[in-house]
Amino acid sequence: MSSAIVVSMAAFALAASLSPGPVNLVALSTGLSYGFRHSLRHVSGATCGFTLLLLSIGWALQPILNWPLAMIAIRWAGVLFLLYMSVGLALDDGHLRARDSHRASFRRGALMQWLNPKAWMASAAGTGAYTAAGSAGSVALFALIFFVICYLSLASWAALGAWLGSRLPTPRQVRWINRGLALMLLLSASSLAVVPLGDTGQASLR
């Protein structure tokens, strides 16, 4: 495989991973509330979840994208999960605490990716564009590149949240940030509810 294709894969992964989206917003929130170290649970879960999804679609699950009922189920499960996350952020009391750091969950991060129709469509678009007809080797290389870039991108959002948390003196300020993030998650849920599934691959998967 040529170096130009590898660079193109990396550029695709960076554009998809670093731009604002639900998973990145939650990474920022967990960094804000629980600190950088604990937020890495969410970062690791989201990265592993997406990488597993990418490998699964590249090797076996792409036909599911042609099943309208399956994609509708994924879409509405994702909408409900984002609504759940937005309510949790809106009701957060704004106190920064390490004692609840288990809420920065590996499992929740991974689940967010599997319930995100945009992640499904972006995985399909990426594997279709950059892998050779489902070649195991090219899919694995694409997944490896995505893993590294996705992890670093999510960790950057978590680090930003931790930086903000160290500089916000009052719970009231944290509450307002969390409510802003909750509104953004609500808008993400609304977009999933109204955007046709065929168009989701054009949007950020994060």
Contact 123, 54 (CB under 8 A): yes
pLDDT tens across 104-155, in order?
689 989 998 888 877 887 788 888 878 765 578 888 999 999 999 999 999 9
pLDDT of residue 100 exceeding 70? no
- The pTM for the full model equals 0.79
pLDDT of residue 69 exceeding 60? yes
- Residue 187's contacts (CB-CB under 8 Å, 6 or more residues apart) are none
Locate all alpha helices (DSSP H) within 96-135, ordered by sequence: 106-114, 117-130
What's the domain range around 114?
Answer: 3-202
d(CA 189, CA 169): 31
Question: How far, in Å, are 21, 99, 114 from residue 38 at the CA level?
Answer: 20, 10, 22
d(CA 191, CA 40): 27
Given this model, what pLDDT does residue 193 score?
72
pLDDT of residue 186 exceeding 60? yes
Given this model, what pLDDT does residue 104 score?
67
Find, among 22, 114, 16, 108, the residue nearest to 61 by Cα. 114
pLDDT of residue 202 exceeding 50? no
Give the pair of three-digit tokens for residue 126: 């990426």
The fraction of the chain above a pLDDT of 70, given in percent, is 85
Question: In which band, very low, low, confident or very high, does the pLDDT at 201 lie, cut at 50, 70 and 90?
Answer: very low
Q: Which residue has the tokens 């090219």?
A: 138
Q: Which residues of 56-88 are buried (b: 16+ CB within 10 A; e: fewer)?
A: bbbbeebeebeeeeebeebbebbbebbbebbee
Question: Which of 96-105, 107-116, 159-168 has the lowest average pLDDT?
Answer: 96-105
Given this model, what pLDDT does residue 204 score?
47
Tally of structural domains, the chain? 1
Number of helices (H), then strands (E), belonging to the chain: the values are 8, 0
Mean of the per-residue pLDDT values of the chain: 81
- Give the CA radius of gyration of the chain: 17
